[in-house]
Amino acid sequence: MSVIARLKDEKLAAKLKEQAQDFRGRILSMMDNLYQTDETLAFEILDEPDVVWTIQAKPLSFVYESKMYDIIAHPCSVGLMNKIWFNGLIPSGTRFIKDFLKQHREALCAPCFHFVLHYVRKSKIKTIYKE
């Protein structure tokens, strides 16, 4: 009987894995279509927090926690992360520095600026303690 039960579980596992792959393919095709037709709507959907069982999470954080790296690497997700990281400015290091001189407020509020600022501060603290 254990052989029969194990065989049934393997069949169930294979079916669930097949369904997960189909679902992932459908999600990617939906993201492709939506990103090509309306980029801002695709960004809104990915950045909109959802509440399930009193747990609030954004779709991108859920995808990251579920280790769905092909969805994270999708151009739509990368575009949204660049928009957040550079605070709507052009996602390029040299271009960001040029825009910093023109658009102070957006550049100062960008997470990438905060990251660089903290990185420089930490490296200075480490060099002080080494001396």
- For 91, which DSSP code? S
Residue 112 · residue 85 · CB < 8 Å: yes
Collect all residues with Cβ–Cβ distance below 8 Å to 72 and sequence separation of at least 6.
60, 63, 64, 78
Query: Which pLDDT band holds residue 1 (cuts at 50, 70, 90)?
Result: very low
Strand segments (E) across the chain: 50-52, 55-57
Q: What are phi and psi of 50, to 5 degrees?
A: -110, 150
Q: Name residue, tokens 């999600």.
A: 27
Query: Which pLDDT band holds residue 125 (cuts at 50, 70, 90)?
Result: low
Domain residues of the chain, as ranges?
2-85, 93-131
pTM (two decimals): 0.62
Q: Name residue, tokens 């959907």.
A: 45
Q: Above 80 in pLDDT, residue 38? A: yes
